[in-house]
Structure 1
Amino acid sequence: MADAAVVTVESAQEVVHSRSHRYRLGWTGAVDRAIGAVVEPIAALLVVVEVVILASGVFTRYVLGRPLVWTDELGSIIFLWLAMLGSVVAYRRDEHIRLSVLVRRASPRVAEYLNAISSVVVALFVAVLMPASLRFLNQERDNLTPALQIPQSYVVLSIIIALSLILIIALLRMAETDLRVVGPVLLAAIVIGAGVYLARGAFAGLGNLNLVIFFFLLVGACVAIGVPIAFSFGLGTLSYVLVVTTVQPDIVVQRMSEGVSNLVLLAVPLFIFLGLLMETAGIARRLVEALASLVGHFRGGLSIVLVAAMYLVSGISGSKIADMAAVAPVLFPDMVKRGQKRTDMIALLATSGAMAETIPPSLVLIIIGSVTGVSIAALFTAGLLPAVVCSIFLIALALWKAHRQNESVSQRAPLSVIGRTLFVAVPGLLLPLLIRYFVVTGIATATEVSVVGIIYTLLVGVLVYREFKWRSLYPTLVDTVALAGAILLIIATATAMGWALTQSGFAQQLADILSHAPGGKGGIMLLSIVLFIVLGSVLEGIPAMVLFGPLLFPVAKAAGINEVHYAIVAVLAMGVGLFSPPLGIGFFSACAIGKAEPEHAVFPILPYLGVLLVGLLVIAYVPWISLGFLPANQR
């Protein structure tokens, strides 16, 4: 959904954030390119190193029976460097997850002001956080890692370097902006920030109203004007700590470091890499072609293919845009020829993306497992059937529409063609089964299994399909670190923000409200669905789950709701929110991929969202759909 995801991610190519000729060609451009020339190859190399380390761990443990005790530790150290350098790459490429609707619709002059505010916010957040980061570095100087005896300061150094580079890039963007725009913005930000800090005594008496000021108004305003979500979370948390509490801001750096120190999260960049490899290796395209040969001749058959294709390719890349972009270009031209309305196609594409969040190996499921302690293997098993149920509802509506609109049909594909396309697609069909088998049987962890998928995909692309080009490997690695860095920085700042909300007492208040919902378990589930739909539309799945998962899951468990079932419902609810107009980022992404104006797709998507919501309620109140295939001790 990170979905990160991103979301879920709108890149700079899709928003109004054009670089001036001065930035591309002048001294600022030279500095920017120099940063990219150093950081991008290092970050790409770290992905390769992680693949080698984890593959070595699986091989020595399962094949040789001699596990390497240091692989997890070294993997964690390299992972933090990968996450931090990836956040630099993402910021340099304008690929941090952000809500860019307002910027895209603003006039060029207003957009310039909004972008200037974004750069100033990022620069001030990093500049204020830097002294705390240096103190944290000094504190960790004498602490050694258990197995390799490496000073922890070498690990924390990645945060210092990343913050420094992000600050430089933010200053470059400010330098390229018209001084008449960035000057007043910077001055206003400094004056307001200093005034609030000097008046911090007045905030002490406001109690929980501070939560509204810093975590609702400040963070909400930053997100609305296009400040990347990670930095919006970070600014709100750091401001709250400095103004309202007596705690040193070092705690923000510590919590950010802890947020991305969980080795389970290493699956994020590796599954992103796997998803991108699937596209370049030709696996995704062949899966779609096989499905089209089977049912494409029915009236509404291509709608079935679209939903089924999203089921098969979704949940791996970490980006719903990548998933939709892999399927839509293959199917949309033929769907248009058959008389289907483009807005209906976009509506089905978006809602198919929403339901596919529970399909393993979904990054959202992995992140839920890492922040709540729920078994990832159980989540992988539990997510399959709910997605089938939602797919049936979507397909039923699509077929009804096709018959009502008298959509044309095509000739049935000959059996020889069907057999050939299915045979060619077998390697792709085996990949999800292979991943699930390795996790469920314990051969590899949820993190390590991504390496199995990467090696398998490379072999298929090189030896079977012979479509993978080695020259595409480096760009794919850079795309991987950019998206992973964007997702992981959100997790880092959201972890710090979650700590602040917990310390303020908000977590307990939220838990009390949820636990006292009328109707017992049923009321808690219904209120949770509403809450997660709202969170999914505003924050996107990954940051929402990192923030609120640890707060809400204990309440559900105390009420007698199975945590695995609750997780599946939460993911589906956030998917509905993510693709719901007028705020859902996924909705606008689907419109961009389908080449239609969002206002034209609003009404066509409502029936699909309606049936998806019906499917969600069925899953929520029939727990067996999520838990039926789990062992008895996990139900």
Structure 2
Amino acid sequence: MTASVDTSASPESYALPDELKAVQARSRLMLPIEVASAALMAAITLMLLAGVASRYLLAAPLVWVDEAVSIAFLWLAMLGSAVAIHRAEHLRLTVVLTALPQRLQGHVQAFGLMVTAAFLLALVRPAFEYVESEAFVTTPALEIPNSWRVAAIAFGIVAMLFVLLVHAWRTCSIAQLAVGTGLVAAIGAACWVLMPTLATLGHLNIVIFLIGFVTVSLLAGVPIAFCFGIGALSYLAFTSHVPVGVMIGRMDEGMSSLVLVSVPVFVLLGCVLDATGMGKAIIDFLASLIGHVKGGMSYVLLGSLFIVSGISGSKVSDMATVAPALFPEMKRRGQKPKEMIALLSTGAAMADTVPPSIVLIVLGSVAGVSIAGLFQAGVTVALVLLLALAVLARWKARSEDLLQVRRATLGTIGRTLLIAGPALVLPFLIRGAVGGGVATATEVSTLAVLYAMVIGMVMYGGIGLRKVYDMLVETAALSGAVLMILGTALAMAWVITQSGVAQQLALFMKNLPGGVAGFLAVTIVIFLVLGCVLEGLPALLLMAPLMFPIARALGVNDVHYAMVVVVAMNIGLMMPPIGVGFYIACRIGNVSPDEAMGAIWPYIVALIGGLIVIAAVPAISTAVL
């Protein structure tokens, strides 16, 4: 494998027998944080439900709910990020690390850990100073010091630093840690000594710190969130007179938008979907309906991704739900594993504009675009991509053997529809409620969790308390990893804006030949590359604050531009040899990336063709608004 993303594996899954006691000891240390994270996630969900019930049923809004949720949400993000470090669930690129000789991997890993530790250590003092400054601010509804909320940042940074150092001590030798620490210290000392020279370099510092430092950290296996952070922090510390404490304020702003509360709630919804088997019920119904035609199982796979994505909001959850249910039958019909992986990965890219896409929610928050508008446009955009992939899948299935395949009876179709019915209703409720302005994305997400839990208990066997706890902790870890990327990416984007590069970029982009068409073409190339290298969400968070003002100045509709950006980003995410989404699909389908790499390109070309149509015809995105 040339790249990997740690999305679901825990340290226990990799532990050798003689390491098990050490792993269990680390788990005991993390237990209080995990319990607190689970309790916060449950409290957020319950408070949101109480707020919705009070507003719509009693016509008596609970004015304190938003503030209480905001406080709990920031604590959830920071504690969840610490849990994600413990579980190795922070997104990172390991393309260089795994390609190195075994004797060098430990040294590079130790260097990456020390880079992360240096970033966190540098933020400890500013974080506590930020808490002190916010003690003078009183929240309007609860009338408590705002320091109660922002203390989460200081506590989370200390917790992450502690967990990281314990992990470094357990996994690296003293010599490796000494070399890594020495190298980080030498780089820092060199930058300090060269500060007078760096001050004269102007925009070249952007290349040195925001590109050079970030790239080196990325290749060393540093989680992407901390790559952005170390780049921005180094630039501020060594080339400007701006206090590094600004980083804390930017991170707070990036992680504190109430709109983003729907992210962990939709992640929890995806966990409920998996645990109850609601996704499997949808797949069984589609298979009974169209599984007997040529290319039928490919249609089922694409259709399942389209529908299931409208419930879970997560590509990883979508692929993990669909692949185990469909791959055995597809293999029996003669489809090659590499073709199945190609269709799975590009189908997941197609479905990421289907609401309630976490990417669309985050983009709406960062770029100031209507989430309801993004949800409405996302469905029609996904249909265009779905058509492109379905046409290619049908052509590839032209020689499929269907001699042993029988059409499902009407009774079978009716039975599977009866079982899948409650699950099928959910994505339409989500899209309709948000798109119609009946409820916000956050309100809908909590109602969807309640609906799924109740339906799961009534029709799909329910969920045990231990499973609920595991889902809450997993939601906290994944949300913490996502929100930490959001905080540091926005801090880095702020630094770029303050440097003046953003204004020069805007001027350059406005003067591109071809006007709007030229701008959209460059946008597609930029997000294809960044989506491939940085993973989708970080690329979006880094570039959206820079690119959307340029698009508006050129008269490009916000929703149309958002659709072009998101689709290009998702295609890049699935493009080998670097696109990390491709490797996630290979791992889920248990297929070698080397085997699947050649098969995916026709599907990538089909998606790019669909993207060109979407970019060239704005009405595809805007006609439904």
Say yes or no: TM over 0.5: yes
1:60 Cα shift?
Answer: 1.1
Distance 2:462 2:330 in 1: 26
What is aligned with 1:633?
none
Secondary structure of 1:64's match? coil
Amino acid of the structure 1 residue aligned with 2:81:
S
Q: Please name the residue that 2:136 is paired with.
A: 142
Distance 2:294 2:404 in 1: 5
What CA distance in whole angstroms lies between the structure 2 residues aligned with 1:33 and 1:461? 30
2:246 pairs with 246, 251, 273, which one?
251
Distance 1:562 1:299 in 2: 40
Partner residue, 1:155: 149
- The residue that corresponds to 1:383 in the other structure is 378
Give the structure 2 partner of residue 4 of structure 1: none
Equivalences for residues 67-82 of structure 1 within 5 A? 67-82=61-76
| CA gap 1:240/1:486 in 2 versus in 1, 3 angstroms | same
1:160-205 alpha-carbon deviations (Å, 9 max, x no partner): 1111111111211222221122211111111221221221111111
Per-residue deviation at 1:75?
A: 1.0
Match of 1:192 in 2: 187
Assess, with a 3 A threshold, how the Cα gap between structure 1 residues 318 and 343 changes in structure 2: closer, same or farther: same
Query: CA separation in 1, counterparts of 2:590 and 2:113?
Result: 30
Moved more, 186-195 or 474-483: 186-195
Which residues in structure 2 correspond to 1:114-513 (within 5 Å)?
A: 114-176=108-170, 177-314=172-309, 316-404=311-399, 410-513=405-508
Query: Which amino acid in structure 2 is aligned with residue 533 of structure 1?
Result: L
Q: Distance in 1 between matches of 2:581 and 2:44?
A: 30
Q: Retained in 2: the 8 A contact 1:340–1:407?
A: no
- 1:126-146 CA distances to partner (integer Å, 9 max, x unpaired)? 111111112111111111111
How far, CA to CA, are the matches of 1:25 and 1:228 in structure 2? 26
C-alpha contact (below 8 Å) 1:125/1:231 kept by paired residues: yes
User: Is residue 532 from structure 1 mapped to residue 509 from structure 2 by the alignment?
Assistant: no
Give how far 1:11 is off.
3.4
Q: Indicate yes or no: 2:3 matched with 1:10.
A: no
Greater relative contact order, per chain length (Cα 8 Å cut-off, separation 6+):
1
Q: Is the 8 A contact 2:279 2:308 kept in 1?
A: yes
Deviation at 1:386, TM superposition (A): 1.0
Correspondence 1:111 to 2:130: no
1:558–1:626 distance in 2 versus 1, CA, 3 Å: same
Specify the SS of the correspondent of 2:228: helix
Letter of the structure 2 residue corresponding to residue 517 of structure 1: L
The aligned amino acid for 2:51 is G
CA distance in 2, matches of 1:94, 1:604: 30
Shift of 1:151: 0.7
Matched to 2:288, the amino acid is: S
Report SS of the residue matched to 2:61: coil
**The 10-residue stretch of structure 1 (557-566 or 439-448) with the greater mean CA deviation from structure 2:** 439-448
CA contact (8 A) 2:34 2:473 kept: yes
Q: Kindly provide the amino acid, as one letter, of the partner of residue 172 in structure 1.
A: V
Question: Structure 1 residues 407, 521: closer, same or farther in 2, change over 3 A?
Answer: farther
CA distance in 1, matches of 2:65, 2:408: 50
- Corresponding residue for 1:558? 553
CA separation of 1:621 and 1:104: change in aligned 2, threshold 3 A: same
Q: CA deviation at 1:23?
A: 6.2
**Deviation sequence 1:84-115 (CA, Å, 0-9, x none):** 11101101111001112333444433332232
Distance in 1, matches of 2:408 and 2:119, equals 59
Aligned pair count reads 622
Runs of 5+ in structure 2 lacking a partner? none
Q: CA RMSD in A?
A: 1.9
Asked if the contact 1:15–1:104 (Cα under 8 Å) also holds between the matched residues in 2, the reply is: no
- Identity in percent: 44
The alpha carbon displacement at 1:318 in A equals: 4.8
Which whole-Å CA distance do the structure 2 matches of 1:22 and 1:188 have between them?
Answer: 31
Aligned to 1:517: 512
Q: Aligned partners of 1:433 and 1:521: how far apart in 2?
A: 34
- Report if the CA contact (8 A) 1:16-1:104 is conserved: no
Normalised to the residue count of structure 2, the TM-score between the two structures is: 0.96
CA contact (8 A) 2:92 2:223 kept: yes
